[in-house]
Amino acid sequence: MTFPKIELHVHLEATVGPETLLEIARRNDYALPADTVEGLAALYEYRDFAHFIEVWVLTTNALRTADDFRQVVVDYAGEAASHGAVYIEGIFSPAERVRRGVSWDEIFSGYCDGAQEAEELHGVTVRLTPDIFRGATLEEAEEIVRHAAAYRERGVLGVGLGGLEAEHPPEEYERPFALARAEGLGSVPHAGEHAGPASVRGALEALGADRLRHGIRAVEDEGLLAELAARGTVLDVCPISNLRTGAVRSLAEHPLPKLVAAGVRCSISTDDPAMFDTDLTRDYEAARSLGLDASSAYEAGVAGALCGEGTRKRLRKIGAPFAWSTTAQAELV
């Protein structure tokens, strides 16, 4: 049974499978660390989170042209739609590409073109939230914000913060996030994945987070957990990603049940599906095994989305007539 899903946390560069990545790298004359599908698949066995970031940089720099970025969005929208996705907030990291000589406008226009085409071809609403990578200069970060604001009418809704969380606390990027809020953009930083409650508090207080990407380590602070529940803050929970990067030692030890028990709203996403060998169905299955039902995940997705009220009403209308009780007994498809 296919049921509607909202995905608020997916890195578009990490939706590209090995075959497509090889195709793109060849047409851009970019040397990947491996030149076969099997070789690339072997790269995706990560020692730790730092190794994942290293592989991420090596592989995603193959993306060079507006058409590459457009293709990435369209291809993933088709994949996600096959799993029931009706709304996606896609993440991309522009400053890393700019450092490799790609222009800001080629990156933003390519992704925005892809979002428009994805809706036309696959019926999935795609909105965009570029990431500031931890380690970026403040000047780079503010340039991301300025371009995000310039492309707001084309579906760019917010700005995120990703990368090596433990090495760069949220407070380092307070200034660009203040600029983002002044421009009417949402704040959706990664926090509470590979750093603890202090990172979550920093994201809430210094960055004015509207929603938290991951946030799972808030369970280490009961007061913070209660605050998240009282605020109604939505967490983008990515169970299989957390397992693959070592944020949790096993799925059985994932803190999602504690988050749910505390009344924290949790949406479900894949994070980096091609790199983590997952998809929306598998992550929803994992969430269900941990006690989060599909209806609650969808409602959290609606609440956490940065979209306008018109789109939010349409998403509620999509979810309202669905027989959610059937998902408790049926296999997820």
Contacts of 143 (CB under 8 A, 6+ apart): 95, 98, 104
Q: Is 215 left (phi over 0), alpha (psi -120 to 50) or beta?
A: left
Residue given tokens 């018109």 in the structure block: 310
Catalytic residues: 193
Q: Pairing state of beta strands 186-191 and 5-11?
A: unpaired
